[in-house]
Structure 1
């Protein structure tokens, strides 16, 4: 188990006593909590709950406790929240040096009052820092299997093409976001051929095979 793993022994961390009680007259979504350990062990009832939640609600909570890969993921999330606190504890003078508006970017710092929330011009009361984390080498959770539905509906060749296309798009976005990231380095980071990335960025799209003209479709097609 990773050193980042932190076992959650109770539900107390989901309580927020310093906040006002949630109003009883507000409707809430009946979200299901699905256990990762049961999914990975092939528990059919849990798989059915996941499918039902995905189809009927569109959202669900994933309980990653009790599974080494899940605990590792939770550990990284805890570290991320810790780093976020350090960022927002910085003096405002320091944070505004990374103002996203002045940089003409979606990435960077946005302070309180930078936007409006209604037609009267009421200033917002939230701040955020959008970090382009995808330009760094992504963390690989090798213990997570390929999603079941992907393997059911897509043959291996199609899955390979989907994965390759996603890597190319991420590499291009990373290059456009970071002026210091070269095409060679991006190709290396995302494990794709340099020629493929270079051709795509130069506007050369992959060729598609076309059926010859006047060719009739077979019954199988």
Structure 2
């Protein structure tokens, strides 16, 4: 029979191993985020298919980015609402893109509170973890109403999906109340490069007790092709489908 001292010692070792494993996992997730944010999106050509439904009004577009052209012409509007865009729409699109300084909606390192990470499910191939959210775009006081989950691919060492939902209604701006928020982001890894796949958002609520807020949107990325310097990311020149 094991003595109480022996049992206690074994428990301490188990707890130490568990803590060490968690620290390694946390560092791995932080590294996966850093790897994604190091992706040189301005060295890839790609397409973005966008869809938005705002209170029943639907809009869509297909956009293309190519770093091989002059900076003012790197973005092209290929389709607007499932048709060829007008000259005025192309001009408005070009003006909008000139004021856009980032290829992604939000930096993951500014979204995930890493110290709050807790594991839900751990398998040989994936880790499901919860985390607290900091989302300044929705207001400094809204983060306490949001919760996030992520799935980390253990074998390929990247985050495959991130989901953000609200835990209760919140007010990001005066007179507006959000009752339901769902954001899903998915990613893929081609060679050693982590690339965005989809960003989906659904939001429901009310404004000034009179009108409803009911919005959905999706951004889908495709046709990735590396066109940067020949000596950089040489293994990523194949299209990412």
TM norm structure 2: 0.23
Report which of the two has the higher share of strand: 2
Q: Greater RCO between the two (CA within 8 Å, min separation 6)? A: 2
Report which of the two has the higher share of helix: 1
Decide which structure has the larger Cα Rg and report it: 1
TM norm structure 1: 0.24
